[in-house]
Chains A and B, each alone.
Chain A
């Protein structure tokens, strides 16, 4: 883009074409007052404050700087007497309306209106005041709205529409009666992202979690990384006297451009919750009793040593944490593999989708995987496959909306459920395939692209390894578009236009979601997806970027760090002797030969069968998060000794023999790796709550007790070791991350030579979904926007916002069995039953019901078995 030269207040500037005068000035340190313009929103020009004098080709005119793009050679003056006179009178009008209730306003001290008033040195106005006296609107636990203070700048309306895609609020009425509000004045019903609070230049929108607990100038602001989902947004923790008061965001920090979701913005109350475990607990005569660290660690090391002596180290199983830092997890697996001498370690995400780690490695080597999540903003086509972005990764949704709004990016959403994704694009392609037909759908796309030569097949043949094999298989396949359309219940037109878009339209960003990853046929579907990507990549000119959904903040990291049975840190195959040798040399310990776990047998299977005698669980609640509740409970019953490290007394901790209290993400340092494989650093915000310790420290102390010299004194030292022994994290110790930067995008992409893609052929199979007369429905589970595990459960505001986990039932199904919204429904599988309130919807396909698995107090996993679970529903009278 070409640059433009202009002069502002006598200063010569060069700015990119398309910049408006307001931003040109702001970026160069020249202040222009303004309340309605926000760089991430569309320009509006409603507050009338940013007036400047513009001289262009000898003509001098007054212009609103936010609405005026720069042009070559113009001269701008921001401080003429006329400009000042105009701006002042605009402010007089605003202040005639705005109540000057600053002493009781939470915004005071960080208020845009206050700042402008102060800058213009305004005192008394000439106009008679005409203020509203409406009551504060408090119809939800998180946000409150004060009409009286509103200056109608419209920022909140635009955030709601453009960033969140919700449009819950809009201008209502006209003229003097205009207010910001919901339709029919109903209670706010939105995604509660808090974007309105973040952009409001007055005290109209307020964060109720802060309300009257602190003044803005008392708050210490520390940026760090959010602990909920795998997007890895930068949050700014506002703390006072060692307590977290609220969370804000910074538009200039991190990948999220200041956008957050309801959990990231309001889900902080767990940190200073009274339910935190603050001291070690040891089970004595059946009851968990407080103990000292010394006592607890002595006991654990004694018990572990006894078990190791009697049964060998492999009799101890370890569960790592998707929530803890890379450093915590690295040390945890090192402790398990060296001190305990067991390779029976795992994490829940790997148990849920065991083939994913290997396939991600393939996609990295083939250069299919995205180098960072931000690539989404440059895409020409977005393809969400089985990914419920709105619920699972809301801020990725905001990024996608930005691309759609600014670049006219096309969107394709493929899901078995009719999931919600709202944006300014009203005509996106929806592929609502029949449950279990996803592999067929993707293979059909491949077939069409090849058959109709939508990409350069010659190039594909030369730049991939075995295209011929794929081609001959496609020829032999009898699943043409017509048959596929019938099987998947997606129209032929939609399949056709999807393959056209994917093959032809430049950069393509694909998100593979949890619905694919946790399907029993995940491996086949992902293989097909990789083939599709390789095909487009090799045959077209532009790059495909593929991202695999991860559930938690550090799900990627826990796998990277090797808290899996079959890979040493950095996905080094443990069965490969040279890998073992390298790691043994660097750790100075011989690794256990015993790698007994196969895909079919995880840690809890081994525990159920009595091969594992003790479990060491770090920051995980498998009793609820493991997909088969009955099995995991049996496993815990069988195991003789359980150590749980957690912030709260979770269902798992309640079964433990020793509970070790840990620090949350704001009380420790370390790094998280997001699902775009960007490593981001945490900052310590407050001191450890109670007697809790960071997980790495506990592991260190325990290792010392057991006679090993774990001499780490900080997470930094651990990361230094990681950078030496984990190839994919090589270089991190010298990166910006270690200095003052936040982020580190792994250089693994540039280092390794790209590998030719080898098409791993996957047949077009249907997921085996059993039919049962007695249990006619299929249970689907997935993410929830408003909750995620232990943390949100202990954040009281989130709980009062979403206190009920609903079972979503298809409207037609519900009508047949006479279930209406709000009815109590019994859901029963062969394993267990549960009662939940019903929500009838068209989001769930007929024959299925959906229950979120993120409401931790709803043990939906008790009903589940491997694969899809058959259930029946009945109304509770």
Chain B
């Protein structure tokens, strides 16, 4: 493990100073793992291995334990995420209203599957369970904006707005 740790520390050039700050703040606080991971994810976008290793060393906790927690909660991400997060609702109402065609549209256009991120790191596409807006099904949420009663064509327009925001 030592070897892998060392290498990743050298290869990636990540500024660890923010993570250090967070870890110093939570030093000697019992049960601080989740807040630490949340703060770090806020800062870095996702939980990268280098930083997890640092957290493991500082909190004196094994990497497996930390990853166990991080993979349990859907709020934590181990892979880089896009600038915009597209959530396609797959709840019952949206499903009936053919949410699948929306997913297919995204897959076709962005060339990524669910839970993946485009190469240019613009978009991350996620299929989620009910978002609680069944009245305007099918629903897609991009970042914090809710788009309802969509069709594949309408979705195309919505996506365009995020690709060329100024226009």
**Are the CB atoms of A820 and B6 closer together than 8 Å?**
yes
B residues 57-97 in Cβ contact with A at 8 Å:
59-68, 71-74, 78
A residues 147-175 in Cβ contact with B at 8 Å:
161, 166-174
Shortest Cβ gap from B133 to chain A (Å): 24
| B166: interface (CB < 8 Å) | no
**Are the CB atoms of A170 and B65 closer together than 8 Å?**
yes
Given A183-B52, A422-B60, A427-B28, check contact A170 B67 (CB 8 Å): yes
**Are the CB atoms of B6 and A172 closer together than 8 Å?**
no
| B25: interface (CB < 8 Å) | no
Interface size, A (range): 20 to 34
**Are the CB atoms of A172 and B60 closer together than 8 Å?**
no
Of chain A, the residue at the smallest CB distance from B3 is A821
Question: Which 3 A-B pairs give the minimum distances between C-beta atoms?
Answer: A170-B68, A167-B62, A183-B67
**Are the CB atoms of B64 and A167 closer together than 8 Å?**
yes
The answer for the CA separation of A820 and B10 in the assembled complex, in Å, is: 11
**Are the CB atoms of A172 and B67 closer together than 8 Å?**
yes
Chain A residues in 8 Å Cβ range of B62: 161, 166-168, 170, 183
Shortest Cβ gap from A401 to chain B (Å): 14
**Are the CB atoms of A173 and B72 closer together than 8 Å?**
yes
Can you offer 24 A-B residue contacts whose CB atoms are under 8 A?
A: A161-B62, A161-B65, A167-B61, A167-B62, A168-B62, A170-B64, A170-B65, A171-B72, A172-B64, A172-B67, A173-B71, A174-B73, A174-B74, A182-B64, A183-B63, A183-B64, A184-B63, A186-B1, A426-B59, A821-B2, A822-B3, A839-B2, A840-B2, A841-B2
The answer for the CA separation of A422 and B74 in the assembled complex, in Å, is: 29
| A584: interface (CB < 8 Å) | no
A residues 659-681 in Cβ contact with B at 8 Å:
none
Of chain A, the residue at the smallest CB distance from B28 is A427
Known: A161-B62, A186-B4. 17 other contacts (CB 8 A): A167-B65, A170-B62, A172-B64, A172-B71, A173-B71, A173-B72, A174-B71, A174-B73, A182-B64, A183-B62, A183-B68, A422-B60, A426-B59, A427-B28, A821-B2, A821-B3, A839-B3
Shortest Cβ gap from A442 to chain B (Å): 27
**Are the CB atoms of B1 and A172 closer together than 8 Å?**
no
Shortest Cβ gap from A526 to chain B (Å): 31
Shortest Cβ gap from B7 to chain A (Å): 8
The answer for the CA separation of A428 and B73 in the assembled complex, in Å, is: 30
The answer for the CA separation of A822 and B4 in the assembled complex, in Å, is: 11
**Are the CB atoms of B68 and A172 closer together than 8 Å?**
yes
Chain B residues in 8 Å Cβ range of A422: 60
**Are the CB atoms of A189 and B1 closer together than 8 Å?**
yes
| B49: interface (CB < 8 Å) | yes
**Are the CB atoms of A184 and B71 closer together than 8 Å?**
no
The answer for the CA separation of A169 and B67 in the assembled complex, in Å, is: 10
Binding site for A on B (CB under 8 A): 1-4, 6-7, 28, 49, 52, 59-68, 71-74, 78
The answer for the CA separation of A189 and B56 in the assembled complex, in Å, is: 15
**Are the CB atoms of A168 and B64 closer together than 8 Å?**
yes
Of chain B, the residue at the smallest CB distance from A170 is B68
**Are the CB atoms of B68 and A171 closer together than 8 Å?**
yes
Shortest Cβ gap from A226 to chain B (Å): 27
Chain B residues in 8 Å Cβ range of A820: 6
Chain B residues in 8 Å Cβ range of A166: 62
Chain B residues in 8 Å Cβ range of A161: 62, 65
Given A167-B65, A821-B6, check contact A184 B49 (CB 8 Å): yes
The answer for the CA separation of A168 and B66 in the assembled complex, in Å, is: 11
Choice from B7, B60, B67 contacting A184 with Cβ under 8 Å: B67
Binding site for B on A (CB under 8 A): 161, 166-174, 181-184, 186, 189, 422, 426-427, 820-822, 839-841
Shortest Cβ gap from A875 to chain B (Å): 16
Choice from B4, B67, B72 contacting A174 with Cβ under 8 Å: B72
Shortest Cβ gap from B11 to chain A (Å): 12
Chain B residues in 8 Å Cβ range of A182: 64
Of chain B, the residue at the smallest CB distance from A428 is B60
The answer for the CA separation of A186 and B3 in the assembled complex, in Å, is: 13
Chain A residues in 8 Å Cβ range of B28: 427
**Are the CB atoms of A840 and B6 closer together than 8 Å?**
yes
Shortest Cβ gap from A634 to chain B (Å): 38
Of chain A, the residue at the smallest CB distance from B4 is A186
Chain B residues in 8 Å Cβ range of A183: 52, 62-64, 66-68
Chain A residues in 8 Å Cβ range of B73: 174
- The CB with the most chain B CB atoms within 10 A, among A183, A184, A422, is that of A183
**Are the CB atoms of A169 and B6 closer together than 8 Å?**
no
Shortest Cβ gap from A818 to chain B (Å): 13
The answer for the CA separation of A822 and B7 in the assembled complex, in Å, is: 11
Chain B residues in 8 Å Cβ range of A427: 28
The answer for the CA separation of A166 and B60 in the assembled complex, in Å, is: 11
The answer for the CA separation of A527 and B44 in the assembled complex, in Å, is: 55
Chain A residues in 8 Å Cβ range of B61: 167
Chain B residues in 8 Å Cβ range of A426: 59-60
The answer for the CA separation of A169 and B66 in the assembled complex, in Å, is: 10
The answer for the CA separation of A370 and B49 in the assembled complex, in Å, is: 45
Chain A residues in 8 Å Cβ range of B2: 821, 839-841
The answer for the CA separation of A821 and B4 in the assembled complex, in Å, is: 10
Chain A residues in 8 Å Cβ range of B4: 186
The answer for the CA separation of A171 and B64 in the assembled complex, in Å, is: 8
Chain A residues in 8 Å Cβ range of B66: 183
Shortest Cβ gap from A819 to chain B (Å): 12
Shortest Cβ gap from A182 to chain B (Å): 5
Shortest Cβ gap from A824 to chain B (Å): 14
Chain B residues in 8 Å Cβ range of A189: 1
Of chain B, the residue at the smallest CB distance from A820 is B6
The answer for the CA separation of A69 and B160 in the assembled complex, in Å, is: 62
Shortest Cβ gap from A609 to chain B (Å): 46
The answer for the CA separation of A821 and B65 in the assembled complex, in Å, is: 25
The answer for the CA separation of A651 and B25 in the assembled complex, in Å, is: 56
The answer for the CA separation of A561 and B66 in the assembled complex, in Å, is: 51
- The CB with the most chain A CB atoms within 10 A, among B4, B6, B61, B62, is that of B62
The answer for the CA separation of A841 and B2 in the assembled complex, in Å, is: 8
Chain A residues in 8 Å Cβ range of B78: 184
Shortest Cβ gap from B5 to chain A (Å): 9
Chain A residues in 8 Å Cβ range of B74: 174
Chain A residues in 8 Å Cβ range of B72: 171, 173-174
- The CB with the most chain A CB atoms within 10 A, among B4, B67, B73, is that of B67
Given A174-B72, A184-B49, check contact A169 B3 (CB 8 Å): no
